[in-house]
Amino acid sequence: MDELIKAWDGECVIVSHDRPSGAWIFIAIHSTKLGPAIGGTRMKHYSELKDALEDAQRLAAGMTYKWAAAGLRGGGGKAVIALDHPLDQQERASLLRRYGTLVRKHRGLFLTGPDLGTSSEDMDIIAQEAPSLVFGRTLEAGGGGNPAPFTARGIFTALETTAQRLFGKGGLSGKKILVQGAGSVGRELIHLLQGCGCEVLFSDIEEETVRLHRNEKGLSFVPPEAVYETACDIFAPCAVGGVLNEESIPRLRCRAVVGGANNQLAAPEDARRLQDRGVLYAPDFVANSGGAIALIGIETRGWSREEAMRRVVKAVRDNLEAIYRTADHEGISTDEAARRLAQRRIDEGAPENEDS
């Protein structure tokens, strides 16, 4: 793990071992150039501890670009709580309160919200110890609530923007969309896609989720091992990261990849692999930025939920259209175009629409 920290281009990593639960906590601070680091808290089991650290680092870097591309003042950070064993409700709550104390001790360096494995209810618990440093608390606790509907709307907007570019005026209507991961965000996205006349296919590893969408909603289920070979118009990865890699990209049978998972590219060169195959890629930190944009706007700028949704749609659409134009004009990958957009805003010292 020492080598991972030394080789990282971020600012610092806070490492803590929670003795009562056995959990390790990594808070990765990638950049504070545009403000305090803001990112979700992820809680899960990892087969190796170094994987948890690397996950935090990669996710934190993604948040740096996400905030800059979205035009909001914030730095890149992410927290990972790596569980040693399953926790009961009381153990979990106690761990979250101790984690809240850890966040508070760093005096605003890092602000957090829900992520994979955590919820708005969890944020309520963390906020008991760090009340001014937590986003995404429940509506009853005065927070912005579950960000999944905003994240899904942003992904849906990215799908619409991409489909219009590929297929013209017909857009998404009649197109076959394969959603990988039907959890909180994937479920919301599927609902939106069903409402616009798409043929929706889905894949998931949770039996209950599969039964719900296949048996009750009548959707076509794709076994996880067959996802990449399944023909579709657009592939929407909404589960874990690293799914686009040297092994999976040659198997893809789609025209575009537009999804909500963080860090979909396993390595930077995978963007060029997609480009070489003629697969249009919507960079994940742009497509999945809706939840982050909405929570910041609702909780710090006084946006209504309707205003937040409008701003999410505009930010994702405008940024993605600009990224696609730049990639075409300069002959670079869409990932490179997106990173240039974000880096330019970081170098300027303030996002373009900070006062909008």
Domain end marker among 140, 175, 195: 140
Residue 268 lies in a domain: yes
Question: Alpha-carbon torsion 265, 288, 147, 41, what sign?
Answer: positive
Q: Can you tell me the distance from the alpha carbon of 261 to that of 185, in angstroms, rounded to the nearest whole number?
A: 9
Residue 294 lies in a domain: no
What are the backbone angles phi and psi of residue 128, rounded to the nearest 5°? -60, -30
Residue 310 lies in a domain: no
Domain range for residue 9? 2-140
Q: Can you tell me the distance from the alpha carbon of 76 to that of 66, in angstroms, rounded to the nearest whole number?
A: 8
Is residue 27 predicted with pLDDT exceeding 80?
A: yes
Residue 305 lies in a domain: no
Report yes or no: 151 and 138 within 8 Å, Cβ to Cβ: no
pLDDT tens digits for 282-324?
999 999 999 999 999 999 999 999 999 999 999 999 999 999 9
What are the backbone angles phi and psi of residue 81, rounded to the nearest 5°? -105, 110
Same domain flag for 136 and 174: no
Distance of CA 279 to the CA centre of its chain: 21
Domain end marker among 92, 121, 140: 140
Report yes or no: 43 and 81 within 8 Å, Cβ to Cβ: yes
Same domain flag for 21 and 155: no
Helix axis angle, 334-348 relative to 49-70, nearest 10°?
Answer: 70
Mean pLDDT of the chain: 95
Residue 204 lies in a domain: yes
Same domain flag for 177 and 134: no
Residue located via tokens 């990972």 = 80
Between strands 176-180 and 110-114, the pairing is: unpaired
Same domain flag for 104 and 194: no
Please give the average per-residue pLDDT across 216-240, as a whole number: 95
Q: Can you tell me the distance from the alpha carbon of 18 to that of 22, in angstroms, rounded to the nearest whole number?
A: 6
Residue located via tokens 């899960």 = 44
Same domain flag for 270 and 152: yes
State residue 169's pLDDT score: 83
Q: Can you tell me the distance from the alpha carbon of 342 to that of 350, in angstroms, rounded to the nearest whole number?
A: 11
pLDDT tens digits for 147-203?
999 999 999 999 999 999 999 988 899 999 999 999 999 999 999 999 998 999 999
- CATH of residue 264's domain is 3.40.50.720
Is residue 54 predicted with pLDDT exceeding 80?
A: yes
Same domain flag for 335 and 197: yes
Confidence at 353, pLDDT banded by 50, 70, 90: low
Q: Is 263 left (phi over 0), alpha (psi -120 to 50) or beta?
A: left
Which parts of 48-139 are beta strand (E)? Answer: 75-82, 110-114
Residue 191 lies in a domain: yes
State residue 354's pLDDT score: 47
Same domain flag for 84 and 168: no
Same domain flag for 93 and 152: no
Domain end marker among 140, 171, 203: 140
* DSSP type of residue 106: T
> How far apart, in Å, are the Cα atoms of 191 and each of 42, 116, 184, 199, 274?
25, 20, 11, 12, 28
Domain count along the chain: 2
Same domain flag for 133 and 158: no
Same domain flag for 120 and 157: no
- CATH of residue 96's domain is 3.40.50.10860
Same domain flag for 338 and 206: yes
Residue 298 lies in a domain: no
Helix axis angle, 290-300 relative to 148-167, nearest 10°?
Answer: 130
Long-range interactions of 123-127: CB distance < 8 A, separation 24+: 125/93, 125/96, 125/97, 125/100, 126/41, 126/96, 126/97, 126/99, 126/100, 127/100
pLDDT tens digits for 235-283?
999 998 999 999 999 999 999 999 999 999 999 999 999 999 999 999 9
Same domain flag for 6 and 78: yes
Residue 123 lies in a domain: yes
Which residues have a catalytic role annotated?
A: 78
Confidence at 356, pLDDT banded by 50, 70, 90: very low
